[in-house]
Amino acid sequence: MKILVEAALNSLSFGNVSYNVVRELFDKGHEVGIFPIGEQVDLSSYSVPEDLAKKIQESINNRFDYLSKDIPSLKIWHLNGSENRKNPEQYLYTFYECSEPTDVEKKLCNAQSKTIFSSSYSADLFGSEYVPLGFDKDFHNTQKTYLDGVIHFGLMGKFEKRKRTGEIIRAWAKKYGNNNKYQLTCCISNPFFKEDEMSHVLNAVLEGKQYTNINFLPFLKKNSEVNELLNAIDIDLTGLSGGEGWNLPSFNATCLGKWSIVLNATSHKDWATKENSILVEPTGKFDCYDNKFFIKGSTFNQGEFFDCDEETIISAMEEAEGKVGQINTEGQKLAEEMSYSKTVDGILSHIS
């Protein structure tokens, strides 16, 4: 089929999803016209085969040929901004983390030919469709030994109140701080924070203390570097986030056979089970507002996220310790059960 794709092709989460969807569309033999959101294309994060890079560029060059009332458009973007469309028939694939859809968000959802969410939690809130994401086939087991004799925890994703980044680090420091039998590697830089602002935030989280076994990495520019980090850790903490549209780092770590501690809420329920994860039940909720990304009274992103107290987090980390040395075979099965090929098939099943 012919399809117009409007999406961001960059190194961020939306870019990761868009790149994998576009790749699968080509693999399945579809004719694709690509309108890059933001007009800037940056595929430097990915190991793009030469023939695929050529197809993507040709699809961008020929994009205006796909402006037609007879060609469906797939937009991979936020609800905010989905009102702009290239073709009359537009299908939106989107992410939503909050709990209280606003009237504007509902109108934007209903204005599409169909809106497809990445999680059943979000789809249920809007009374819409759901298609899960898949495992990025560029990720793989490196078969390397990284920190021998050390239990290595990892935390990824930009620093946010929503992700409970500060609470997770503080809980880990309370339990394992300066015990060099344990290591915590954080890749949590937020591009929306200035360098001095980020330093101030981290200093506040650690209460001005120095830890010999907490390591902060800069933003990893390439997926191959992310793959190395996911392979290096034993236990992932990213799944303790209070609100997610999917949570790619935690999901990918689980697919690689690592043990992820996962809050049993929002999108996590679509892939994390007691067999493949250390499931943690929420102990409460908190307002989403942080006056930066989520602003009270705005026409977008209102409501609450799920919370988990420090005692519960520490208990889960202790449980995860007992899993170290065991390959998470149930997690590895996710990589086969949930693929981007199936994601694209699911999306296309909703496009008339």
In this predicted structure, what is the pLDDT of residue 45?
95
- pLDDT band, residue 191 (cuts 50/70/90): confident
Q: Report d(CA 56, CA 8) in Å as an integer.
A: 13
Closest-CA residue to 286 (of 169, 163, 172): 163
- pLDDT band, residue 306 (cuts 50/70/90): very high
In this predicted structure, what is the pLDDT of residue 223?
96
Max mean pLDDT range (9-13, 36-40, 250-254): 250-254
Question: Residue 352: pLDDT above 80?
Answer: no
Question: Residue 339: pLDDT above 80?
Answer: yes
Phi/psi of residue 306, nearest 5 degrees? -90, 145
Backbone region of residue 129 per phi and psi (left: phi > 0; alpha: psi in -120 to 50; beta: other values): beta
Question: Residue 195: pLDDT above 90?
Answer: no
What's the residue count for the chain? 352
The per-residue DSSP string of 249-260 comes to HHHHHHHTT-EE
Which segments within 17-117 are labelled E, that is strand?
31-36, 73-76, 90-94, 114-117
Q: What is the mean pLDDT of residues 59-70?
A: 98
Maximum Cα–Cα distance across the chain:
63
Q: Report d(CA 204, CA 209) in Å as an integer.
A: 9
Quick check: do 2-134+339-349 and 151-337 share a fold?
yes
Question: Residue 40: pLDDT above 90?
Answer: no
Tokens 């780092």, residue located: 249
Query: Was domain 151-337 assigned CATH 3.60.15.10?
Result: no
Mean pLDDT of the chain: 96
* CA-to-CA separations, 166 to 207, 240, 329, in angstroms, rounded: 11, 11, 30
Q: Among 34-43, 51-60, 150-159, 332-341, which stretch is predicted with the lowest mean pLDDT?
A: 34-43
Phi/psi of residue 29, nearest 5 degrees? 85, 15
- pLDDT band, residue 4 (cuts 50/70/90): very high
In this predicted structure, what is the pLDDT of residue 192?
81
Q: Give the containing element (helix H, strand E) for 21.
A: helix 13-27
Topology classification of domain 2-134+339-349: Rossmann fold (3.40.50)
In this predicted structure, what is the pLDDT of residue 193?
85
Phi/psi of residue 169, nearest 5 degrees? -65, -45
- pLDDT band, residue 242 (cuts 50/70/90): very high
User: Which residue would you say has higher pLDDT here, 256 or 352?
Assistant: 256
Domain residue ranges in the chain: 2-134+339-349, 151-337
**What angle separates helix 223-232 from helix 248-255, to the nearest 10 degrees?**
60
Question: Residue 325: pLDDT above 80?
Answer: yes
In this predicted structure, what is the pLDDT of residue 176?
98
| % residues pLDDT > 90 (the chain) | 95
Q: Report d(CA 201, CA 196) in Å as an integer.
A: 9
Tens digits of residue pLDDT in 281-299: 999 999 999 998 899 999 9
Q: Report d(CA 13, CA 147) in Å as an integer.
A: 28
